[in-house]
Structure 1
């Protein structure tokens, strides 16, 4: 399982420099298509997105991503930052911080 990063080029640049291979730059026109393709890629185990980009998705797709265990979607930054602890607990099945 691999890590995939989906976001605008300013967000993804650091992940590229860190050596993440599956990095997808989005625009307003291709956001939904790239998220759906990444979500259905069997090689991807974790999708990292900026929370602001996640909030721009249609409600149905956002609900699918929130319920998805594999791949697990981790949203970082922006308004209403997602709780990483809850995402890990959901994907692994136990609270690793206890």
Structure 2
């Protein structure tokens, strides 16, 4: 299971430095949408990381699909995100509440 990160070059650089290999730097909403669709089709990806601001620019239907996705589990990083907390997302993807 791999972690994928999609976002601006500034956003993904920290993840690259942390050792995450599947990082996709994109500029513009169309490129973002295409990259998200490619990652959703990639069965080796278990976790997808996006910035909250990028998540909010996606069309409602795609955003809803990402918020409800179990595999890959989608985590929006940055400003406060509506919907599920990271704890709830991990619990849903792993099947166990790791904070208990």
Relative to the length of structure 1, the TM-score reads 0.93
- Size of the alignment, in residue pairs? 98
C-alpha distance in 2, partners of 1:79/1:71? 20
Moved over 4 A (4+): none
Shift of 1:27: 1.1
C-alpha distance in 1, partners of 2:81/2:25? 22
Structure 1, 1-10 or 77-86: larger mean CA deviation = 77-86
Q: What is the RMSD computed on CA atoms of the aligned residues?
A: 1.3
C-alpha distance in 1, partners of 2:44/2:60? 25
Secondary structure of the equivalent of 2:20?
coil
Matched, 1:20 2:23: no
Matches within 5 A, 1:1-98: 1-28=1-28, 29-80=30-81, 83-98=85-100
User: Any stretches of 5+ residues in structure 1 without a counterpart?
Assistant: none
User: Any stretches of 5+ residues in structure 2 without a counterpart?
Assistant: none
Deviations for 1:13-45, whole angstroms, at most 9, x for unmatched residues?
A: 011111111000111130100011011101111
Shift of 1:96: 0.9
C-alpha distance in 1, partners of 2:55/2:61? 12
Relative to the length of structure 2, the TM-score reads 0.91
